[in-house]
Amino acid sequence: MQTPTLFSLLPDYVSTPDGMAIDPEGNLVLSCPNFADTSMPGCLLKIGKNKYITKWVDVPAHQETGCARPMGIAFGPDGAIYICDNQGWSGDEKLMFKGRLLRLLIEGSTIIESDVVAYGMEHPNGIRFFGDYMYVTQSLMTKAPGPEGKLLSCVYRFHYKDRDIKVDNLPGDPNILETFVTLNPECQYGADGIEVDAQGNIYVGNFGDGAVHKVVMKTDGTVKESFVWAKDSEQLRTTDGMTTDAWGNMYVADFSANAVARIDPNGKVRRIAQSPDSDGFNGELDQPGEPCFWNGVLVVSCFDLVTGPDKVNTGHEMPATLSQLLPEQF
């Protein structure tokens, strides 16, 4: 088991960091939904190679709700950044089914184009691209309970040129690639982290079950088969954001256990780091949300907000933090 260290304390306009992506210039981009203090606008940060942090942009607010809550982010083939605006994460009834998938084309720190790819989403969370298509997890589908009343969740598939698609959050939606059932009655939270391999196969973390599903794709973009690829409740309790290295190993943020797990190409799970409850100021994993390889380290965002009997985290502290693990630790 390795000891994480501090990557950065974040500016005071960030209360909740989440998703990460690398821009074409090699900067680390961080999404900040700021659920811990909703007076703060949802924004994107840019971190340069010297770790200098700047606010890149505030994400355009929803016209009806007056806010934006960016979670998963990814750069598309057109150079734009695509954003899961998870309006409903807080549980506020006024924000339910107001989630959006946004496209922002940004020059410098100016938004040149702002488009809505999809809207009406209940709980958009993670996003990855393969070719011209994006794959987006939706963690809750409460309109249509699964077998025995268990939670359904899904992955949507959109083309990067799609615009203004209304989703209905039901299994028959033509934009849904695959649905998942979360079996764990103690944690009914579904598809969250997502990753795509070089062959275009999709890996989806079923959060509540602590399982990673593999969705094998056909060349025509449809599903060939879907199955649980990795699961070990002793080593991985929950599956939030995930990323892979050059050798095909996957690294998964274990949100509830304050841990990070490594999954080898054969699906074997091993916890590589874990922290007790803390403020994260010394780099502890303070409710890790997503890992991302950048400049030779594994950077981990610390969500540090959710509490409950299954969570190590017991409260939120400022400033928000990013943790890191070094390559030799793996």
pLDDT digits (tens, 9 = 90+) for 59-109: 999 999 999 999 999 999 999 999 999 999 999 999 999 999 999 999 999
Delimit the domains of the chain by residue range. 5-329
Helix (H) or strand (E) holding 250, with range, is strand 250-254
pLDDT tens, position by position, 221-260: 999 999 999 999 999 999 999 999 999 999 999 999 999 9
Q: How confident is the model at residue 327 (pLDDT cuts 50, 70, 90)?
A: confident
pLDDT of residue 49: 87
Looking at the predicted structure, is the pLDDT value of residue 321 above 90? yes
User: How much of the chain exceeds pLDDT 70, in percent?
Assistant: 99
Looking at the predicted structure, is the pLDDT value of residue 24 above 70? yes
Q: Are 94 and 142 in contact (CB under 8 A)?
A: no
What own/partner pairs with CB < 8 Å and gap ≥ 24 does 90-95 have? 90/35, 90/38, 94/65, 95/65, 95/67
pLDDT average, residue stretch 280-294: 98
Q: Tell me 312's DSSP state.
A: S
CA angle 116, 191, 46 (to 5 degrees): 55
- Residue partners of 2: CB distance under 8 A and separation at least 6: 272, 273, 325, 329
- Structure tokens given for 188: 């009914």
Give the Cα separation of 192 and 210 in Å (integer): 11
- The CATH code of domain 5-329 reads 2.120.10.30
Average pLDDT score, the chain = 97
CA angle 125, 129, 134 (to 5 degrees): 65
Alpha carbon distances (Å) from 318 to 13, 32, 160, 220 = 10, 14, 36, 47
pLDDT average, residue stretch 139-145: 95
pLDDT of residue 326: 86
Looking at the predicted structure, is the pLDDT value of residue 161 above 60? yes
Q: Are 85 and 72 in contact (CB under 8 A)?
A: no
Give the Cα separation of 99 and 102 in Å (integer): 10
pLDDT of residue 328: 60
Q: How confident is the model at residue 149 (pLDDT cuts 50, 70, 90)?
A: very high
| Count of positions (residues) in the chain | 330
